Amino acid sequence: MFPNGVSAYVDLMQDLIPEMQDGTVRTAIDTGCGVASWGGDLLDRGILTVSLAPRDNHEAQVQFALERGIPAILGIISTQRLPFPSSSFDMAHCSRCLIPWTEFGGLYLLEINRILRPGGFWVLSGPPVNYEHRWRGWNTTIEEQRSDYEKLQDLLSSMCFELYKQQDDIAVWRKSSDNECYDRKFSNPDAYPPKCDDSMEPDAAWYTPLRPCVVVPARKYTKVALDAVPKWPERLHATPERVSVVHNGNANAFKHDDSKWKSRVKHYKKLLPALGTEEIRNVMDMNTVYGGFASALIEDPLWVMNVVSSYATNSLPVVYDRGLIGVYHDWCEAFSTYPRTYDLLHLDGLFTAESQRCDMKYVLLEMDRILRPSAYAIIRESYYFLDAIATIAKGMKWNCRQEDTEYGGDKEKILICQKSLWYSSS
Protein backbone atom coordinates (compact mmCIF):
# COMPACT_ATOMS: atom_id res chain seq x y z
CA MET A 1 0.00 0.00 0.00
CA PHE A 2 3.00 2.32 0.35
CA PRO A 3 4.79 2.10 -3.04
CA ASN A 4 6.39 5.51 -2.46
CA GLY A 5 6.98 4.98 1.24
CA VAL A 6 4.74 5.62 4.23
CA SER A 7 5.55 9.35 4.38
CA ALA A 8 4.18 9.92 0.87
CA TYR A 9 1.08 7.92 1.87
CA VAL A 10 0.51 10.08 4.94
CA ASP A 11 1.18 13.25 2.91
CA LEU A 12 -1.69 12.28 0.60
CA MET A 13 -3.88 11.54 3.62
CA GLN A 14 -3.13 14.96 5.07
CA ASP A 15 -4.18 16.55 1.79
CA LEU A 16 -7.53 14.82 2.21
CA ILE A 17 -7.78 15.59 5.95
CA PRO A 18 -6.35 19.05 6.72
CA GLU A 19 -7.38 18.51 10.36
CA MET A 20 -4.33 16.23 10.70
CA GLN A 21 -2.05 19.26 10.44
CA ASP A 22 -3.64 21.89 12.68
CA GLY A 23 -3.87 19.99 15.99
CA THR A 24 -7.49 18.89 15.53
CA VAL A 25 -6.52 15.21 15.13
CA ARG A 26 -4.31 14.05 18.00
CA THR A 27 -5.17 10.39 18.79
CA ALA A 28 -5.53 7.56 16.28
CA ILE A 29 -5.89 3.79 16.15
CA ASP A 30 -4.50 1.55 13.41
CA THR A 31 -6.33 -1.80 13.20
CA GLY A 32 -4.27 -4.56 11.63
CA CYS A 33 -1.24 -2.30 11.88
CA GLY A 34 1.43 -4.63 10.46
CA VAL A 35 4.77 -3.31 11.65
CA ALA A 36 3.12 0.03 12.56
CA SER A 37 4.81 2.17 9.92
CA TRP A 38 1.71 4.41 9.71
CA GLY A 39 1.69 4.99 13.46
CA GLY A 40 5.43 5.60 13.48
CA ASP A 41 5.17 8.27 10.80
CA LEU A 42 2.25 9.95 12.58
CA LEU A 43 4.20 9.98 15.86
CA ASP A 44 6.76 12.21 14.16
CA ARG A 45 3.91 14.51 13.12
CA GLY A 46 2.49 14.89 16.62
CA ILE A 47 -0.37 12.37 16.29
CA LEU A 48 -0.31 9.67 18.96
CA THR A 49 -1.38 6.32 17.51
CA VAL A 50 -2.26 3.01 19.14
CA SER A 51 -1.20 0.32 16.68
CA LEU A 52 -3.14 -2.91 17.07
CA ALA A 53 -2.34 -6.32 15.61
CA PRO A 54 -2.60 -9.99 16.62
CA ARG A 55 0.14 -12.57 16.61
CA ASP A 56 -0.68 -14.32 13.34
CA ASN A 57 1.13 -15.83 10.37
CA HIS A 58 3.18 -12.62 10.15
CA GLU A 59 4.57 -13.45 13.60
CA ALA A 60 5.64 -10.73 16.05
CA GLN A 61 4.57 -7.51 14.32
CA VAL A 62 3.67 -5.73 17.55
CA GLN A 63 7.00 -6.74 19.07
CA PHE A 64 8.77 -5.22 16.07
CA ALA A 65 6.76 -2.01 16.45
CA LEU A 66 7.65 -1.70 20.12
CA GLU A 67 11.32 -2.39 19.35
CA ARG A 68 11.14 0.66 17.07
CA GLY A 69 9.69 2.72 19.92
CA ILE A 70 6.18 2.94 18.45
CA PRO A 71 3.06 2.57 20.66
CA ALA A 72 1.42 -0.82 20.02
CA ILE A 73 -0.50 -3.59 21.77
CA LEU A 74 -1.44 -7.13 20.88
CA GLY A 75 -5.11 -7.30 19.98
CA ILE A 76 -7.77 -8.03 17.41
CA ILE A 77 -11.38 -7.09 16.75
CA SER A 78 -13.00 -10.48 17.25
CA THR A 79 -15.63 -11.31 19.89
CA GLN A 80 -14.84 -8.83 22.68
CA ARG A 81 -14.81 -5.05 22.76
CA LEU A 82 -11.42 -3.41 22.46
CA PRO A 83 -10.06 -2.12 25.83
CA PHE A 84 -10.85 1.54 25.12
CA PRO A 85 -13.69 3.84 26.19
CA SER A 86 -16.31 5.16 23.81
CA SER A 87 -15.68 8.36 21.83
CA SER A 88 -11.93 8.19 22.42
CA PHE A 89 -9.99 8.24 19.13
CA ASP A 90 -9.99 11.15 16.70
CA MET A 91 -9.14 8.89 13.77
CA ALA A 92 -9.22 5.19 12.91
CA HIS A 93 -7.29 3.61 10.04
CA CYS A 94 -7.17 0.33 8.13
CA SER A 95 -4.80 -0.32 5.24
CA ARG A 96 -5.37 -3.70 3.61
CA CYS A 97 -6.02 -5.09 7.09
CA LEU A 98 -8.41 -7.67 5.57
CA ILE A 99 -11.04 -7.20 8.28
CA PRO A 100 -14.48 -8.25 6.91
CA TRP A 101 -16.15 -4.98 7.80
CA THR A 102 -19.58 -5.78 6.40
CA GLU A 103 -19.86 -9.35 7.73
CA PHE A 104 -21.59 -10.51 10.95
CA GLY A 105 -24.02 -7.61 10.91
CA GLY A 106 -21.20 -5.08 10.60
CA LEU A 107 -19.99 -6.07 14.07
CA TYR A 108 -16.38 -4.94 13.64
CA LEU A 109 -17.20 -1.58 12.09
CA LEU A 110 -19.74 -1.00 14.86
CA GLU A 111 -16.89 -1.35 17.35
CA ILE A 112 -14.88 1.25 15.44
CA ASN A 113 -17.94 3.48 15.64
CA ARG A 114 -18.04 3.02 19.43
CA ILE A 115 -14.44 4.08 20.05
CA LEU A 116 -14.38 6.86 17.44
CA ARG A 117 -15.08 10.38 18.66
CA PRO A 118 -18.12 12.19 17.15
CA GLY A 119 -16.80 14.05 14.12
CA GLY A 120 -13.87 11.61 13.92
CA PHE A 121 -12.44 10.16 10.71
CA TRP A 122 -12.37 6.57 9.50
CA VAL A 123 -9.77 5.94 6.79
CA LEU A 124 -9.77 2.84 4.60
CA SER A 125 -7.22 2.08 1.91
CA GLY A 126 -7.20 -1.10 -0.13
CA PRO A 127 -10.13 -3.34 -1.10
CA PRO A 128 -12.80 -2.42 -1.98
CA VAL A 129 -11.74 1.25 -2.35
CA ASN A 130 -10.91 2.18 -5.95
CA TYR A 131 -12.22 -1.20 -7.09
CA GLU A 132 -12.80 0.16 -10.62
CA HIS A 133 -9.04 0.25 -11.23
CA ARG A 134 -7.73 -2.32 -8.76
CA TRP A 135 -10.06 -5.32 -8.90
CA ARG A 136 -7.86 -7.30 -11.32
CA GLY A 137 -5.13 -7.58 -8.71
CA TRP A 138 -7.48 -8.80 -5.98
CA ASN A 139 -8.30 -12.25 -7.39
CA THR A 140 -11.97 -11.33 -7.74
CA THR A 141 -14.45 -9.79 -10.18
CA ILE A 142 -15.41 -6.16 -10.58
CA GLU A 143 -19.04 -7.07 -9.78
CA GLU A 144 -18.01 -8.61 -6.44
CA GLN A 145 -15.92 -5.59 -5.52
CA ARG A 146 -18.68 -3.17 -6.52
CA SER A 147 -21.08 -5.12 -4.31
CA ASP A 148 -18.61 -5.05 -1.39
CA TYR A 149 -18.15 -1.31 -1.76
CA GLU A 150 -21.89 -0.64 -1.92
CA LYS A 151 -22.47 -2.79 1.18
CA LEU A 152 -19.75 -0.85 3.01
CA GLN A 153 -21.21 2.48 1.97
CA ASP A 154 -24.71 1.42 3.07
CA LEU A 155 -23.45 0.18 6.43
CA LEU A 156 -21.54 3.38 7.14
CA SER A 157 -24.55 5.48 6.14
CA SER A 158 -26.77 3.51 8.54
CA MET A 159 -24.24 4.37 11.30
CA CYS A 160 -24.36 8.10 10.45
CA PHE A 161 -21.02 8.27 8.62
CA GLU A 162 -20.64 10.35 5.47
CA LEU A 163 -18.04 9.94 2.75
CA TYR A 164 -15.71 12.87 3.41
CA LYS A 165 -13.16 12.58 0.61
CA GLN A 166 -11.69 9.96 -1.67
CA GLN A 167 -8.60 9.93 -3.86
CA ASP A 168 -6.89 6.99 -5.53
CA ASP A 169 -6.80 4.10 -3.03
CA ILE A 170 -7.75 6.14 0.06
CA ALA A 171 -11.32 6.78 1.19
CA VAL A 172 -12.20 8.88 4.24
CA TRP A 173 -15.53 8.78 6.06
CA ARG A 174 -16.53 11.12 8.89
CA LYS A 175 -18.72 10.22 11.84
CA SER A 176 -21.65 12.53 12.60
CA SER A 177 -20.78 15.28 15.09
CA ASP A 178 -24.25 15.50 16.65
CA ASN A 179 -27.32 13.39 17.35
CA GLU A 180 -29.55 14.73 14.61
CA CYS A 181 -28.72 11.89 12.22
CA TYR A 182 -29.26 9.26 14.94
CA ASP A 183 -32.63 10.77 15.85
CA ARG A 184 -33.70 10.51 12.23
CA LYS A 185 -32.37 6.99 11.70
CA PHE A 186 -33.76 5.48 14.87
CA SER A 187 -37.17 7.08 14.65
CA ASN A 188 -37.81 4.00 12.50
CA PRO A 189 -38.18 1.02 14.90
CA ASP A 190 -37.01 -1.33 12.13
CA ALA A 191 -33.69 0.48 11.61
CA TYR A 192 -30.73 -1.85 11.09
CA PRO A 193 -28.28 -2.06 12.71
CA PRO A 194 -30.44 -1.16 15.71
CA LYS A 195 -29.54 1.32 18.42
CA CYS A 196 -27.93 -0.26 21.51
CA ASP A 197 -30.29 -0.30 24.45
CA ASP A 198 -29.55 1.42 27.73
CA SER A 199 -28.18 -1.76 29.30
CA MET A 200 -25.13 -1.57 27.01
CA GLU A 201 -22.75 0.74 28.89
CA PRO A 202 -20.75 2.53 26.13
CA ASP A 203 -17.47 2.49 28.10
CA ALA A 204 -17.71 -1.13 29.31
CA ALA A 205 -14.73 -2.67 27.54
CA TRP A 206 -13.24 -5.40 29.72
CA TYR A 207 -14.52 -8.85 28.76
CA THR A 208 -17.55 -7.20 27.19
CA PRO A 209 -18.93 -9.11 24.17
CA LEU A 210 -19.40 -7.30 20.88
CA ARG A 211 -23.03 -6.66 19.97
CA PRO A 212 -24.42 -5.77 16.49
CA CYS A 213 -25.88 -2.43 17.53
CA VAL A 214 -24.99 1.25 17.22
CA VAL A 215 -23.60 3.03 20.29
CA VAL A 216 -25.06 6.53 20.11
CA PRO A 217 -22.97 9.29 21.79
CA ALA A 218 -24.44 10.46 25.11
CA ARG A 219 -26.45 13.66 24.79
CA LYS A 220 -25.23 14.98 28.14
CA TYR A 221 -21.78 15.61 26.68
CA THR A 222 -21.64 18.59 24.33
CA LYS A 223 -17.86 19.07 24.22
CA VAL A 224 -16.66 15.59 23.26
CA ALA A 225 -16.98 15.93 19.46
CA LEU A 226 -13.77 16.49 17.51
CA ASP A 227 -14.69 20.05 16.59
CA ALA A 228 -15.60 20.84 20.22
CA VAL A 229 -12.45 19.71 22.08
CA PRO A 230 -9.55 22.21 22.07
CA LYS A 231 -6.83 21.65 19.49
CA TRP A 232 -3.51 20.15 20.45
CA PRO A 233 -1.54 21.15 22.50
CA GLU A 234 -4.15 23.30 24.29
CA ARG A 235 -6.34 20.28 24.97
CA LEU A 236 -3.64 18.68 27.15
CA HIS A 237 -4.32 21.07 30.02
CA ALA A 238 -7.95 22.02 29.31
CA THR A 239 -10.37 20.41 31.78
CA PRO A 240 -12.25 17.67 29.86
CA GLU A 241 -16.04 17.63 30.13
CA ARG A 242 -15.99 13.93 31.02
CA VAL A 243 -14.00 14.57 34.21
CA SER A 244 -17.44 14.64 35.86
CA VAL A 245 -17.64 10.84 35.33
CA VAL A 246 -14.79 10.30 37.78
CA HIS A 247 -15.62 10.08 41.49
CA ASN A 248 -15.08 13.56 42.97
CA GLY A 249 -13.94 14.71 39.55
CA ASN A 250 -14.14 18.40 38.73
CA ALA A 251 -12.03 21.19 37.29
CA ASN A 252 -10.26 21.89 40.59
CA ALA A 253 -9.33 18.23 41.09
CA PHE A 254 -8.04 18.04 37.51
CA LYS A 255 -5.89 21.18 37.86
CA HIS A 256 -4.55 19.98 41.21
CA ASP A 257 -3.61 16.61 39.68
CA ASP A 258 -1.75 18.37 36.86
CA SER A 259 0.21 20.51 39.30
CA LYS A 260 0.94 17.55 41.57
CA TRP A 261 2.46 15.49 38.78
CA LYS A 262 4.65 18.30 37.52
CA SER A 263 6.21 18.42 40.98
CA ARG A 264 6.49 14.63 41.22
CA VAL A 265 8.11 14.19 37.80
CA LYS A 266 10.63 16.93 38.57
CA HIS A 267 11.59 14.93 41.66
CA TYR A 268 11.68 11.65 39.70
CA LYS A 269 14.18 13.14 37.26
CA LYS A 270 16.53 13.93 40.13
CA LEU A 271 16.28 10.34 41.37
CA LEU A 272 16.52 8.81 37.88
CA PRO A 273 18.57 11.04 35.53
CA ALA A 274 17.83 8.72 32.55
CA LEU A 275 14.19 9.87 32.61
CA GLY A 276 13.80 12.58 30.01
CA THR A 277 16.74 11.38 27.90
CA GLU A 278 16.73 9.21 24.79
CA GLU A 279 17.59 6.19 26.95
CA ILE A 280 13.91 5.82 27.91
CA ARG A 281 11.35 5.69 25.10
CA ASN A 282 8.52 3.20 25.87
CA VAL A 283 6.87 4.10 29.18
CA MET A 284 3.84 2.69 30.99
CA ASP A 285 1.90 4.35 33.81
CA MET A 286 0.34 1.25 35.35
CA ASN A 287 -2.52 2.90 37.26
CA THR A 288 -3.18 6.43 36.15
CA VAL A 289 -6.18 8.61 36.96
CA TYR A 290 -6.12 11.66 34.69
CA GLY A 291 -2.85 10.94 32.85
CA GLY A 292 -0.94 13.50 34.94
CA PHE A 293 2.34 11.53 34.85
CA ALA A 294 2.21 11.38 31.04
CA SER A 295 1.27 15.05 30.81
CA ALA A 296 4.28 16.08 32.89
CA LEU A 297 6.57 14.17 30.49
CA ILE A 298 5.03 15.53 27.29
CA GLU A 299 8.13 17.48 26.22
CA ASP A 300 10.44 14.47 26.60
CA PRO A 301 11.40 12.05 23.77
CA LEU A 302 9.07 9.27 24.93
CA TRP A 303 5.46 8.10 24.86
CA VAL A 304 3.33 6.81 27.73
CA MET A 305 0.75 4.03 27.75
CA ASN A 306 -1.74 5.03 30.45
CA VAL A 307 -3.43 2.06 32.13
CA VAL A 308 -6.69 2.39 34.08
CA SER A 309 -7.76 -0.57 36.18
CA SER A 310 -10.91 -2.26 34.97
CA TYR A 311 -11.98 -2.27 38.64
CA ALA A 312 -11.18 1.40 39.34
CA THR A 313 -13.13 4.55 38.59
CA ASN A 314 -13.52 4.98 34.85
CA SER A 315 -11.14 7.87 34.15
CA LEU A 316 -9.81 6.69 30.78
CA PRO A 317 -12.17 8.96 28.78
CA VAL A 318 -10.45 11.92 30.46
CA VAL A 319 -7.05 10.60 29.35
CA TYR A 320 -8.22 10.48 25.73
CA ASP A 321 -10.02 13.82 25.89
CA ARG A 322 -6.73 15.50 26.75
CA GLY A 323 -4.96 13.89 23.79
CA LEU A 324 -3.19 10.98 25.48
CA ILE A 325 -3.56 7.22 24.95
CA GLY A 326 -4.24 4.30 27.24
CA VAL A 327 -6.12 1.04 27.89
CA TYR A 328 -8.25 -0.68 30.49
CA HIS A 329 -6.53 -3.58 32.23
CA ASP A 330 -6.81 -5.88 35.24
CA TRP A 331 -3.37 -6.40 36.80
CA CYS A 332 -4.44 -9.80 38.09
CA GLU A 333 -3.86 -10.84 34.46
CA ALA A 334 -1.04 -10.52 31.94
CA PHE A 335 -0.81 -7.35 29.86
CA SER A 336 -1.25 -7.66 26.08
CA THR A 337 2.34 -7.09 25.02
CA TYR A 338 5.43 -9.11 24.24
CA PRO A 339 8.16 -9.70 26.84
CA ARG A 340 10.86 -7.04 27.24
CA THR A 341 9.05 -4.23 25.44
CA TYR A 342 9.01 -1.32 27.96
CA ASP A 343 11.88 0.88 29.15
CA LEU A 344 10.13 2.23 32.24
CA LEU A 345 7.17 1.16 34.37
CA HIS A 346 5.62 3.59 36.84
CA LEU A 347 3.04 2.79 39.48
CA ASP A 348 1.49 4.92 42.16
CA GLY A 349 -0.18 3.04 45.01
CA LEU A 350 -1.13 0.07 42.82
CA PHE A 351 -0.52 -2.51 45.54
CA THR A 352 -2.40 -0.43 48.08
CA ALA A 353 -5.39 -0.37 45.74
CA GLU A 354 -5.24 -3.94 44.40
CA SER A 355 -3.60 -6.07 47.10
CA GLN A 356 -6.95 -7.55 48.15
CA ARG A 357 -7.47 -8.86 44.60
CA CYS A 358 -4.02 -9.63 43.20
CA ASP A 359 -1.04 -11.42 44.71
CA MET A 360 1.80 -8.91 44.75
CA LYS A 361 4.42 -11.36 43.54
CA TYR A 362 2.48 -12.15 40.36
CA VAL A 363 2.10 -8.46 39.52
CA LEU A 364 5.84 -7.96 40.02
CA LEU A 365 6.63 -11.02 37.90
CA GLU A 366 4.46 -9.57 35.13
CA MET A 367 6.33 -6.29 35.45
CA ASP A 368 9.58 -8.24 35.12
CA ARG A 369 8.26 -9.90 31.95
CA ILE A 370 7.33 -6.55 30.40
CA LEU A 371 10.55 -4.71 31.27
CA ARG A 372 13.62 -4.83 29.08
CA PRO A 373 16.89 -5.88 30.72
CA SER A 374 18.53 -2.75 32.24
CA ALA A 375 15.13 -0.98 32.17
CA TYR A 376 13.65 0.82 35.17
CA ALA A 377 10.65 0.80 37.50
CA ILE A 378 9.48 3.67 39.68
CA ILE A 379 7.34 2.22 42.46
CA ARG A 380 5.56 4.79 44.62
CA GLU A 381 3.88 2.99 47.50
CA SER A 382 2.77 3.01 51.07
CA TYR A 383 5.66 2.30 53.43
CA TYR A 384 3.72 -0.80 54.53
CA PHE A 385 4.46 -2.62 51.23
CA LEU A 386 8.07 -1.58 50.58
CA ASP A 387 9.92 -4.38 52.37
CA ALA A 388 7.84 -7.08 50.70
CA ILE A 389 8.27 -5.47 47.28
CA ALA A 390 12.02 -5.10 47.78
CA THR A 391 12.36 -8.77 48.79
CA ILE A 392 10.54 -10.03 45.68
CA ALA A 393 12.46 -7.58 43.48
CA LYS A 394 15.75 -8.90 44.82
CA GLY A 395 14.64 -12.43 43.96
CA MET A 396 14.03 -11.26 40.37
CA LYS A 397 17.57 -9.81 40.33
CA TRP A 398 16.40 -6.21 40.32
CA ASN A 399 18.62 -3.59 41.93
CA CYS A 400 16.43 -1.28 44.04
CA ARG A 401 17.00 1.65 46.32
CA GLN A 402 14.53 3.42 48.58
CA GLU A 403 14.05 7.18 48.28
CA ASP A 404 11.90 9.81 49.93
CA THR A 405 9.03 11.42 48.06
CA GLU A 406 9.24 15.07 47.01
CA TYR A 407 7.64 16.16 50.28
CA GLY A 408 9.45 13.70 52.59
CA GLY A 409 7.55 11.89 55.34
CA ASP A 410 7.22 8.20 56.18
CA LYS A 411 3.74 7.33 54.95
CA GLU A 412 4.84 6.96 51.34
CA LYS A 413 8.20 6.04 49.80
CA ILE A 414 9.67 5.54 46.34
CA LEU A 415 11.59 2.52 45.09
CA ILE A 416 13.86 3.17 42.10
CA CYS A 417 14.60 -0.22 40.54
CA GLN A 418 16.62 -1.41 37.58
CA LYS A 419 16.22 -4.85 36.05
CA SER A 420 19.56 -6.58 35.58
CA LEU A 421 20.65 -8.57 32.56
CA TRP A 422 21.34 -12.13 33.69
CA TYR A 423 21.37 -15.64 32.26
CA SER A 424 20.54 -19.04 33.66
CA SER A 425 23.62 -21.01 34.75
CA SER A 426 22.34 -23.91 32.65
pLDDT band (50, 70, 90) for residue 40: very high
pLDDT band (50, 70, 90) for residue 128: confident
CA 335-336-338 angle, 5° bins: 100
- Is the per-residue pLDDT at 299 higher than 90? yes
Average pLDDT taken over every residue of the chain: 93
Fold matches, 6-187 and 234-419: yes
Q: Which residues are within 8 A (CB) of 106 and not within 5 positions of it... i.e. 6 or more apart?
A: 155, 158, 159, 193, 212
Compute the distance between CA of residue 382 and CA of residue 387 in angstroms, rounded to an integer. 10
pLDDT band (50, 70, 90) for residue 41: very high
Q: What is the pLDDT of residue 15?
A: 96
CB atoms within 10 A of CB 35: 20
Nearest one of 229, 226, 196, 225 to 211, comparing CA atoms: 196
pTM: 0.95
Q: What is the pLDDT of residue 147?
A: 87
Q: What is the pLDDT of residue 32?
A: 84
What proportion of the chain, given as a percentage, has pLDDT over 90? 80
pLDDT band (50, 70, 90) for residue 136: low
Q: What is the pLDDT of residue 94?
A: 93
Per the omega criterion (within 30 degrees of 0), is the bond before 233 cis?
yes
Q: Which residues are within 8 A (CB) of 292 and not within 5 positions of it... i.e. 6 or more apart?
A: 257, 258, 260, 261
Ranking 11-15, 98-102, 298-302, 398-402 by mean pLDDT, the lowest is 98-102
What letter would DSSP give residue 81? Answer: -
pLDDT band (50, 70, 90) for residue 57: low
What is 364-417 written as a DSSP string?
HHHHHHHEEEEEEEEEEEEHHHHHHHHHHHHHTTEEEEEEE-TT--SSEEEEEE
- Is the per-residue pLDDT at 135 higher than 80? no
CATH homologous superfamily of domain 6-187?
Vaccinia Virus protein VP39 (3.40.50.150)
- Three-state SS for 421? coil
Using CB atoms within 10 Å of the CB of residue 426, give its burial: 0 to 12 exposed, 13 to 18 middle, 19+ buried: exposed
Q: What is the pLDDT of residue 252?
A: 97
Annotated domain spans of the chain: 6-187, 234-419
CATH of domain 234-419: 3.40.50.150
70-88: per-residue pLDDT in tens? 999 999 889 999 999 999 9
Task: Give the pLDDT mean for 37-57.
Answer: 90
CB atoms within 10 A of CB 421: 10
Q: Which residues are within 8 A (CB) of 17 and not within 5 positions of it... i.e. 6 or more apart?
A: 25, 91, 121, 123, 164, 165, 172
